[in-house]
Amino acid sequence: MEIPYTDTEDVSREDRYSVQTTLEGRRRAQHLPGSARTWSVSIPVGHPEDLLHLDAFAQGAWGPGPWHWLPVQAQVGNLLTPNEAALLERATPAYTLDGGPLQTPDGTWTPRSLLVDLETGSDWLFKGIPVLPGRPFTWSLDVIGDGVSAPELITIYSDLDGNRIGTGDRRASSTVKGLHRTSMTLTPPAGAATVDVGVRSTVKRLARPQLSWTPVATPYTTGHGCRTAIVDGLESALKTIDQHGPVNAVSFTVMEVS
């Protein structure tokens, strides 16, 4: 389901530490493994036909969830989750090793990179990222190749049932040697629901992965996507009635769950 437009999407995070003070006045902190996010979303003006599907989700017509949530920041910035964009989670960890910090092509430092442990073949880094048929998306990341062949990025689509569509796409970087940022922009065909993205064995080190619903590569940003979310707290306020019917202001809450 695509929400036509939103006015605000305020996001907050759960605390990353549980802090307690002892009887001696010492502060103890325990690091929590997750930091779930909550989005407070508002739609200032909406007609019934605009809000029909949202209301169905909130009422449980599509089941209890969870669902994949892509806020606006994810669509134009980075569809990956924060942990995926930070390379803390990936689909095939067996093919990559921790490469440590890396100075990126723009001169900044990223705290984590990956070494690709493949002689041949492909490594599908992230799977099941939602796409919309006819809407371009761009897959980009920093890469270092083998110094002989140009680093290659790869993608392949699946339909709603998880069946692969076609044989996938490959795009070679225009640069062979050295660290550089490369990208590929594609338009999903009819029937495509998700895309898997990765690299070929010609990539030996990578950092700062990014996927966005944009026709060009955008400046890198951390991940804003959420793979498991529920919709709750739908509120509606009648503002007026025009020639198309009731006009409502709507707000709801999206909560990341595990």
Q: What is the pLDDT of residues 19-67, one digit of tens each?
A: 899 888 899 998 877 789 999 998 888 777 777 788 888 788 888 889 9
**Residue range 136-159: average pLDDT?**
95
Give dist(CA 211, CA 233) in Å, integer.
30
Q: How far is CA 195 from the centre of its chain?
A: 12
Query: Percent of the chain, pLDDT > 90?
Result: 59
- Whole-model pTM: value is 0.88
Domain extent for 26: 8-71+227-256
Confidence grade of residue 90 (pLDDT, cut at 50, 70, 90): very high
Which residue did the predictor score with more confidence, 190 or 250?
Answer: 190
Q: What is the pLDDT of residues 163-198, one digit of tens each?
A: 999 888 988 888 888 999 999 999 999 999 999 999
pLDDT tens digits for range 209-224? 999 999 999 999 999 9
Q: Are residues 242 and 197 in the same domain?
A: no
77, part of any domain: yes
Tokens of 19: 């802090």
> Do 193 and 245 sit in the same domain of this protein?
no
Model pLDDT, residue 254: 92
Position 203 confidence tier, pLDDT thresholds 50, 70, 90: very high
Q: Domain check: are 241 and 152 in the same one?
A: no
Instruction: Indicate whether 185 belongs to any domain.
Output: yes
Strand order in the sheet with 194-200: 122-130, 194-200, 152-158, 164-172
Name the domain count of the chain. Answer: 2
Query: Is the pLDDT score of 227 beyond 80?
Result: yes
Residue 1: inside a domain, yes or no? Answer: no
Q: Are residues 138 and 18 in the same domain?
A: no
What is the predicted pLDDT for the residue at 208? Answer: 97
pLDDT at 5 over 70: no
Q: Give a yes or no: residue 117 inside a domain.
A: yes
What does the pLDDT average to over 106-122? 93
In a domain, residue 240? The reply is yes
Q: Please give the pLDDT value at position 4.
A: 61
Q: Provide the 8-state DSSP code for 120.
A: S
* Shared-domain flag, residues 248 and 127: no
Q: Check whether residue 114 and residue 175 sit in a common domain.
A: yes
**Residue-level pLDDT at 152:** 95
Confidence (pLDDT) at 64: 86
Instruction: Say if 30 falls within a structural domain.
Output: yes
* Residue 3 falls inside a structural domain: no
Residue 76 shares a structural domain with residue 60? no
Where would I find the H helices in 4-65?
48-59
Angle 137-139-144 from CA coordinates, rounded to 5°? 165
Check whether residue 217 and residue 244 sit in a common domain: no
Q: What is the DSSP letter of 23?
A: T
pLDDT at 226 > cutoff 80:
yes
Is the residue at 2 inside a domain? Answer: no
